[in-house]
Amino acid sequence: MTGSADLKKLLDAKAAMYNRREFIVRDPICIPHSFTKRQDIEISGFFAATLAWGNRTTIINSCRRLMSLMDNAPHEFIIGHRDTDLKPFLSFVHRTYNATDLLYFISVLQRHYKERVSLEEAFVPAGRYKEPTVQQALVHFHGYFFEGEHPERTRKHVATPARNSACKRLNMYLRWMVRKDKSGVDFGIWKKISPAQLVCPLDVHVARVAARLGMIPNDKADWKNALILTEQLRAMDAADPARYDFALFGLGAEERL
């Protein structure tokens, strides 16, 4: 591992390099950036994060197809669709995510948005979130999402720290919704959670980079390492540790460190 000052200098430079609007077009975050209405951003972002594994071009294409099926007005569709409107969704598939999963997601979102204004309330139902990290918010969301009758197979598409999952896609989604800075990449439309409480999204690529930099003890992409990594990042920027996601992801995906 390089010295802590050198490591911070490296990660600060890489975060600045990749936290730029020019990279939006090649990232799944381009999907919610297609919308301006708060609920459209939330819904399209949630699906984009859920489908965000595999080739990025394929992810983006799948998300665009899904938004097209919703007439590019996801909130209006979620609230107002009829059962007959769901027929075109029966052929949707992205890797192991299929129509069974999608129809359940749509049903949960419809139930939620008929009662609530924002999807933030599925993570934090009341008041400001006061825990040191988003761990309990993620656990709550998982319980909320599957509180009704549901297909057992669909549970694998919504992770939870309770199973030691790194929850990479949900942590990425929370970064999108919670963080905001001058770069304009993340949206910062949720206010109950602060950037200081975010956990750095950890997948196999980021875990490999973080292990090589000596920031985690091994390259396992699990919740334990996500917390260890976030503590390392919090020592560099206590108010916004997740901004280093740009650096670690860039080093892994773009530069193949």
Number of independent structural domains in the chain: 1
Tokens 């595999």, located at residue:
54
Q: Among candidates 161, 253, 139, which has minimal Cα distance to 207?
A: 253
Global confidence as pTM: 0.96
Whether the CB-CB separation of 141 and 170 falls below 8 Å is answered with yes
pLDDT value of position 201: 98
- Based on DSSP, count helices (H) and strands (E) in the chain, helices before strands: 11, 2
How far is the C-alpha of 176 from the C-alpha of 147, rounded, in Å? Answer: 25
* Sequence-separated (6 or more) residues with CB below 8 Å from residue 181: 19, 188, 240, 243
Note the pLDDT tens digit of each residue in 219-228: 999 999 999 9
pLDDT category, 195, cuts 50, 70, 90?
A: very high
pLDDT value of position 256: 61
Q: What is the DSSP letter of 96?
A: T
How far is the C-alpha of 153 from the C-alpha of 151, rounded, in Å? Answer: 5
How far is the C-alpha of 241 from the C-alpha of 103, rounded, in Å? Answer: 35
Note the pLDDT tens digit of each residue in 44-88: 999 999 999 989 999 999 999 999 999 999 999 999 999 999 999
Q: Is the pLDDT of residue 136 over 80?
A: yes
Report CA dihedral (27, 29, 34, 37) to the nearest 10 degrees.
180
Note the pLDDT tens digit of each residue in 89-105: 999 999 999 999 999 99
- Tell me if residue 162 falls in helix, strand or coil: helix
Around 78, how many Cα atoms within 13 Å sit in the side-chain half-sphere? 30
Residue 13 structural domain: 4-254
Q: What is the DSSP letter of 160?
A: -
Percent of the chain exceeding pLDDT 90 equals: 95
Note the pLDDT tens digit of each residue in 239-249: 999 999 999 99
